[in-house]
Amino acid sequence: MKVLSLFANIGVAEAYLRGLGIEVSVANELLERRAKLYSEIYPETEMISGDITNAKIFNHVIEAAKNRKVDCIMATPPCQGMSTAGQQDEEDERNKLIMPVMDAVHILKPNYVFIENVPNFLNTAIEVKGNNILIPKYIENELGNEYEIHSYTINTKNYSVPQVRERAIFLITKKGLSHIWLLPKPDEKIITMRDAIGNIPSIDPYIKDISKKEMKEMFPEYEEKKERALEISRWNIPPHHIKRQVVSMMHTPTGKTAFDNEKYFPVKENGTPVKGYRNTYKRQNWDTPAYTVTMDNRKISSQNNVHPGRYLGKDKNGDDVYSDARTLTLYELMLVMSLPSDWPVPEKTSEAFLRRIIGEGIPPLFVKKVFEKLIER
């Protein structure tokens, strides 16, 4: 099977496809920096960087797909205009990026099409020839005569991914084929945070607004823990935070938010209490899958980002203290996203850049299971 990957980013979704004998022959990504990294990870793929709505770029993608005899299209359009983490703006032009996908299907006539987005993709309308139409209806109007269309709302936690992540999925099969692409059955076992990262030793955060002496007093084993962490993976880098946030989280139990702390309530630089949502300054739980990874996963002050931690005992003031008062390391995020341990990301890649990209992606283990269902005979 040969695949055209649209809105490919750096190739998070296709991380396992090579191992299934599936060739991602051609890929398109708008942003040059992402496209360049994609090519370093997948040098065998013809990457075409540029705006798919530009006729020259679109035609280049189509000709390359024809030359490589692509028989499957995988499209993961940007979701910022539809995501609950974004503005949910039906006027966002990115919502219309499903339209060049339909154009590509009409021209290439692949046997199969995979489309993925946030659940609100199913409830978002776009303007087509002067009329507002829901995206699922638009897809049906465009492809219904030639293709059998199955749409789903799934949660990746049901497919051995240690993360709660709801997605809208379209599996589309050309009519007349004997093998119809359907969603695989959910797995029986739920993979938890403990399963995914529970064996990784404790890692202290690096506190960037204090002296080396104070850092040594707060975390006397920081260097030893850091060295041990980097032996596991070069991406297992201690996150950098500010002292007042770390102190709040040191006194926040597993699964709780620091907004429940009476004594160690989150404060601003001027000492006034922080106002925020209860899913911020919050530790994850060990015995459930991780919360949805977002692009803003470096911050304690953003949604559900803090490591579950382990109870350490009492401090000198008699207050309960917990380990790992930090966000997840990039390596831990990779595990939560179900990325393969041997994913060949170049060592020079920016950690901040990778963190943001991972927060945009679909867990590749789910994609693997969906494609396994397609190629089974």
Angle of helix 135-143 versus helix 98-108 axis, rounded to 10: 10
Same domain (yes/no): 181, 205: no
Same domain (yes/no): 98, 169: yes
| In a domain? residue 304 | yes
Show the CA angle centred on residue 160, arms to residues 287 and 4, nearest 5°. Answer: 140
| In a domain? residue 68 | yes
CA distance 286 to 123: 33
| In a domain? residue 308 | yes
Predicted pLDDT of residue 88 = 47
Predicted pLDDT of residue 95 = 85
Same domain (yes/no): 47, 184: yes
Please say whether the beta carbons of 279 and 261 come within 8 A: no
Does the pTM surpass 0.85? The reply is: yes
Same domain (yes/no): 166, 210: no
Same domain (yes/no): 93, 15: yes
Indicate if 79 belongs to the active site: yes
Same domain (yes/no): 184, 206: no
| In a domain? residue 336 | no
| In a domain? residue 195 | no
Mean pLDDT of 229-245: 98
Same domain (yes/no): 185, 280: no
Considering 74, 79, 191, 337, which one is annotated as catalytic? 79
Name the percent of the chain lying above pLDDT 70.
95
Please check the confidence at residue 83 and state whether its pLDDT lies above 60.
no
Question: How many structural domains comprise the chain?
Answer: 2
Give 300 or 84, the one with higher predicted confidence.
Answer: 300
Please count the other Cβ atoms lying within 10 Å of the Cβ belonging to residue 376.
8
**Which tens digits make up the pLDDT trace of 29-59?**
999 999 999 999 999 999 999 999 999 999 9
Same domain (yes/no): 152, 262: no
Where in the sequence is the domain holding 45, given as residue range(s)?
A: 2-190+363-375
Same domain (yes/no): 44, 167: yes
Residues 6+ apart with CB under 8 A from 20: 368, 371, 372, 375
**Which tens digits make up the pLDDT trace of 98-116?**
999 999 999 999 999 999 9
Predicted pLDDT of residue 89 = 53
Predicted pLDDT of residue 84 = 47
Q: How confident is the model at residue 140 (pLDDT cuts 50, 70, 90)?
A: very high
Same domain (yes/no): 157, 242: no
| In a domain? residue 339 | no
CA distance 179 to 181: 6
Same domain (yes/no): 259, 111: no
Please check the confidence at residue 195 and state whether its pLDDT lies above 80.
yes
Predicted pLDDT of residue 208 = 97
Q: How confident is the model at residue 82 (pLDDT cuts 50, 70, 90)?
A: very low
**Which tens digits make up the pLDDT trace of 256-283?**
999 999 999 999 999 999 999 999 999 9
Mean pLDDT of the chain: 95
**Which tens digits make up the pLDDT trace of 333-372?**
999 999 998 999 999 999 999 999 999 999 999 999 999 9
Please check the confidence at residue 81 and state whether its pLDDT lies above 60.
no
| In a domain? residue 349 | no
Predicted pLDDT of residue 54 = 97
Q: How confident is the model at residue 376 (pLDDT cuts 50, 70, 90)?
A: confident
| In a domain? residue 323 | yes
Predicted pLDDT of residue 111 = 98
Same domain (yes/no): 19, 162: yes
Q: List the CATH number of the domain containing 16.
A: 3.40.50.150
